[in-house]
Chain A
């Protein structure tokens, strides 16, 4: 059997195995939203003179006047056809909202993760190679500081310094200057779309908007990535084959990047997977501060309003993403280290 086929079979098996978990997530969030106090109909029928008749009308429109099992059946049947219900907060189908907003969140998270890796891998390597030196101490202090400052504090601080005082970055209001025409929606990732449509000015602008929120998030996850790189490398560095390599007089860079890092990559990959999944959901405050039209702030707005459908849709999306990220990490693990098998 070829390698591709093996992969495909494994992915199929994984997808099947995750179905019960997804169903559990759907039922759990469905029930949870309805058990939580707060009635969306009351919240939204809040105009002057809107009385019980309007509340009942809204409940009927949302289907909340039917028994819960029937509501659940309708909801699950809707998911089968790609219908996640309607959001009252935006007045749009949830599926449409998520399609429009997920690329924004992914673009931000991936950029932040990329930035963070660019910093944390070298820092972790230095830290491990010169373990317990002054360099190591400095890096550990930096990590502690980055980890201690909550992202919204660093976000507001960065905005204050780079936007309000020095005016070095564009105003922190979303993915693109509101006066700039948007590229054709190809992937939804603005940086990619501007590249594809060959608009360097637009690309620079989108990158400028992305810079501060991405740095904010990158700083927050710098610590776990650096620490994991350091710990994992340290274990490897003490093993026999590294001592052999040193004894044979191989250059340091070669020992670190080719032999040590590759063997240390497995726990780092796992950490990246966890960090990525956490970032997607946890960047809600960063999205709020930077008016980033992502899925997390969308879900939070909906939660405040007890708007059931968007919250359920968001949690389902997170579950699916989590499963996909885990699968991807497992595949990569197999590539990095043939001793690790997906089975």
Chain B
């Protein structure tokens, strides 16, 4: 997925710390001397970055560009901030595997809602508001605020409406106030994604009286005002927001004080933009920053050896790196060509070279015809078999191979570059000549959206981790996220039926068929799920990998 606000890559990243370490002490002293000559007595006494332990300093290479996550063009960091500043009606649970916490896609609990019920036919979701919830300005949360927020989601021109439509939430009439603290959501059919959609960053609950005061006839949903201001009631309030530089949050104590609430540990959270990855690595290792999640893999590996920081490595379960073909144009419209390439790739070598093995492979699965479970993304039975690859290519009518291009975005170069070289070399063995094209991000995204790349790599993350949703989002319809422009009537039938299927066995059967169809037709080769390395000071605990791949400050604490 294209990630807005990409950190610029500079060649200096190639300098590891170890290399410079070997220099002699004399050189250091010499430079020290030269420097103190140039500017004497300016070296200040270092201020302790976190005078008391209740301030968290987060550094990131990206920026927050809006306080309203539903704005067209909101960056990923903006989603992360909004999760901490706004409440949604419901939220995903979290689970622990080993020492690592991750979100639990199968458990949905109340957030601003105290509880919810789903009717037997699956067409009505009834949500009950917490009795003592308040907004940041101290006024109580009313059911009209909830109604207004949901109406805004389906009415305003924002990112919410298309997301909500995936859960059959399309019209204001579907949101019915059924009591002073009760709202009913009426669905035309029992859509399995309706409830999960209410946990998305786009489904923020807004202080409607405050927001409406800043609405204008041209802007009835106060979208302009909410870019720079908040009308929220979540765990943190925005103390200061300097776009492109930093954002400072302070804890909203009323949030933790409400019934069954837990107060976040940190009183203050500073989220600061530090564009250079090497600088971020130095900061967290020196103890001047508490948490960073966007470091380069080689920095993380070097840090592991030095053991000064805590590294929470978790594979991103809802994310996948893939190779996509343009299945609408020759030669990749021929399924045998795709299968040939899928049989020719050196998966394990690519995995090692790109990620240093730090992730979860999606190749070499044990099953052949049908997958054993319906989890997705899951490993597919893809393996290297050059004889088979040559045979398939000959059957496809390309015994002498052909020439094509392979593209990737500059921001992904550290992982894509070694991968591209291996692909080029492997495909040469079966006669396919690959010309590697490294494109600036904006150009890459444009070509990708316009479906003009024959063969490329990208990484995608789906927020609702349901097998049906992944296939609906990435493998059907003529839309941007159908990376390989795949048009399979069978896949359309399977996803269409699975969406409203209430019988569990039939749903699982459909999901198995989708996975098997993908493995057979390879419109896109799933490679792996990269790790997220959340590097923190040793005393930070409670990091939870979230579906939105940003930090939930509410769960962190210092021990």
Complex Cα–Cα for A47 and B272 (A) = 22
A51 touches B63 (CB 8 A): no
B353 within 8 A of A: no
Give A236-285 interface residues, CB cut-off 8 Å to B: 285
Complex Cα–Cα for A92 and B446 (A) = 24
* Chain B contacts for A57, CB-based, 8 A: 72, 157
Instruction: In the complex, identify which listed stretch (A21-29, A156-164, A226-234, A326-334) lies at the interface while the others stay far away.
Output: A156-164
A170 touches B44 (CB 8 A): yes
B46 touches A170 (CB 8 A): yes
A44 touches B4 (CB 8 A): yes
A50 within 8 A of B: yes
Name the interface size band of chain A.
Answer: 35 or more
* Chain A contacts for B139, CB-based, 8 A: none
| Of the residues A39, A92, A215, A288, contact of B243 by C-beta under 8 Å | A92
Given A38-B440, A301-B8, check contact A50 B274 (CB 8 Å): no
A67 within 8 A of B: no
Map CB proximity to B onto A88-105 as digits: 1 under 8 Å, 0 otherwise: 111110000100100000
A207 touches B244 (CB 8 A): no
B397 within 8 A of A: no
* Chain A contacts for B6, CB-based, 8 A: 304-305
Given A43-B2, A293-B244, check contact A305 B441 (CB 8 Å): yes
> Nearest CB to that of A51 among chain B residues?
B479
Instruction: In the complex, identify which listed stretch (B168-176, B279-287, B369-377, B483-491) lies at the interface while the others stay far away.
Output: B279-287
A48 touches B481 (CB 8 A): yes
Minimum CB–CB distance from B495 to chain A (whole Å) comes to: 15
B245 within 8 A of A: yes
* Chain B contacts for A43, CB-based, 8 A: 2, 4, 441-442, 445-446
Give B337-375 interface residues, CB cut-off 8 Å to A: none
Given A37-B443, A91-B227, A291-B279, check contact A300 B273 (CB 8 Å): no
Minimum CB–CB distance from A203 to chain B (whole Å) comes to: 9
* Chain A contacts for B10, CB-based, 8 A: 152, 285, 288-289
| Of the residues B245, B246, B276, B445, contact of A46 by C-beta under 8 Å | B445
B440 touches A304 (CB 8 A): yes
Given A159-B282, A164-B282, A291-B279, check contact A174 B245 (CB 8 Å): yes
Given A205-B44, A211-B39, check contact A289 B66 (CB 8 Å): no
Given A39-B446, A48-B1, A171-B283, check contact A156 B12 (CB 8 Å): yes
Instruction: In the complex, identify which listed stretch (A76-84, A125-133, A177-185) lies at the interface while the others stay far away.
Output: A177-185
* Chain B contacts for A290, CB-based, 8 A: 276, 279
* Chain B contacts for A92, CB-based, 8 A: 243-244
* Chain A contacts for B63, CB-based, 8 A: 89-90, 301
Complex Cα–Cα for A51 and B480 (A) = 6
| Of the residues A88, A89, A164, contact of B286 by C-beta under 8 Å | A164
Give A25-63 interface residues, CB cut-off 8 Å to B: 36-40, 42-55, 57-58, 61
Given A46-B4, A91-B227, A97-B244, check contact A304 B275 (CB 8 Å): no
Given A167-B286, A205-B44, A207-B44, check contact A58 B8 (CB 8 Å): no
* Chain A contacts for B242, CB-based, 8 A: 100
Instruction: In the complex, identify which listed stretch (B115-123, B146-154, B159-167, B254-262) lies at the interface while the others stay far away.
Output: B159-167
B110 within 8 A of A: no
B5 within 8 A of A: yes
| Of the residues B12, B411, B462, contact of A289 by C-beta under 8 Å | B12
* Chain A contacts for B49, CB-based, 8 A: 171, 177, 179
A215 touches B38 (CB 8 A): yes
Complex Cα–Cα for A317 and B416 (A) = 36
| Of the residues B1, B17, B38, contact of A160 by C-beta under 8 Å | B17
B74 touches A47 (CB 8 A): yes
* Chain A contacts for B32, CB-based, 8 A: 161-162, 166, 168
B39 touches A115 (CB 8 A): yes
Minimum CB–CB distance from A98 to chain B (whole Å) comes to: 12
* Chain B contacts for A119, CB-based, 8 A: 38
B442 touches A178 (CB 8 A): no
A224 within 8 A of B: no
Minimum CB–CB distance from A164 to chain B (whole Å) comes to: 5
Minimum CB–CB distance from A95 to chain B (whole Å) comes to: 14
A115 touches B38 (CB 8 A): yes
Give A153-206 interface residues, CB cut-off 8 Å to B: 153, 155-157, 159-174, 177-180, 204-205
A160 touches B5 (CB 8 A): no
A298 within 8 A of B: yes
* Chain A contacts for B157, CB-based, 8 A: 57
A173 touches B473 (CB 8 A): no
A297 within 8 A of B: yes
A153 touches B12 (CB 8 A): yes
Map CB proximity to B onto A283-311 as digits: 1 under 8 Å, 0 otherwise: 00100111101000110110011100000
Residue from A48, A100, A153 with most neighbouring chain B CB atoms (10 Å): A48
* Chain B contacts for A169, CB-based, 8 A: 43
Complex Cα–Cα for A157 and B21 (A) = 10
Complex Cα–Cα for A156 and B228 (A) = 34
B51 within 8 A of A: yes
A205 touches B47 (CB 8 A): yes
> Nearest CB to that of A174 among chain B residues?
B245
Complex Cα–Cα for A1 and B441 (A) = 58
Complex Cα–Cα for A46 and B2 (A) = 6
B51 touches A54 (CB 8 A): no
23 A-B pairs (CB sep. < 8 Å):
A37-B440, A38-B446, A39-B449, A43-B446, A44-B72, A48-B462, A51-B480, A89-B63, A91-B65, A91-B227, A152-B12, A157-B20, A166-B32, A173-B274, A179-B49, A179-B55, A205-B47, A208-B43, A289-B275, A289-B278, A301-B275, A304-B441, A305-B6
Question: Footprint of A on B, CB under 8 Å?
Answer: 1-6, 8, 10-12, 15, 17, 20, 28, 31-32, 35, 38-39, 42-44, 46-47, 49, 51, 55, 57, 59, 63, 65-66, 71-74, 157, 159, 162-163, 165-166, 227-228, 242-246, 248, 270, 272-276, 278-279, 282-283, 285-286, 288-289, 410-411, 440-443, 445-447, 449-450, 461-463, 473, 479-481
The 8 closest A-B pairs by CB, nearest first: A38-B442, A44-B73, A306-B442, A90-B243, A46-B2, A208-B44, A37-B443, A91-B65
- Other A-B pairs beyond A47-B159, A162-B35, A304-B442, 16, CB < 8 Å: A37-B440, A37-B443, A42-B445, A46-B445, A49-B165, A49-B166, A55-B480, A89-B244, A97-B244, A118-B38, A159-B282, A163-B286, A166-B32, A171-B282, A304-B411, A305-B441
